[in-house]
Amino acid sequence: MSVYVDDAIWSWHGRKWCHLLADDIDELHRFARTLGLHRISYQGPPRTAKPHYDLTAMERSRALAYGAAPCDRTAVVMIVRRLRRQAAGG
């Protein structure tokens, strides 16, 4: 299983942000803890359909150093679809 980060392209409050995703929700939470992220910052159902954590560009650099794989928007869509299928039992 893998953990992924997309490009830090989203501007908010003067910073660039990206998404941290994983092949498995438990893996996502474990990796986020490794980065020092709090579970309260998790974004997923029912608030949003895409289970993820938002990361700053600096946090993204740390995630990559810890082994997260960089990915593009196409890969993010594929990961989200796979997670939805898993959640639906398929």
Rounded Cα–Cα distance for residues 11 and 46 (Å): 24
pLDDT in single tens digits along all 90 residues of the chain: 689 999 877 777 788 889 999 988 899 999 999 999 998 889 887 787 788 999 998 999 999 999 999 998 888 888 778 877 776 776
Domain count along the chain: 1
* Structural domain that includes position 23: 3-87
Separation between Cα atoms, residue 71 and residue 75, nearest integer Å: 6
pTM of the predicted protein model:
0.82
Identify whether the C-beta of residue 29 lies closer than 8 Å to the C-beta of residue 1.
Answer: no
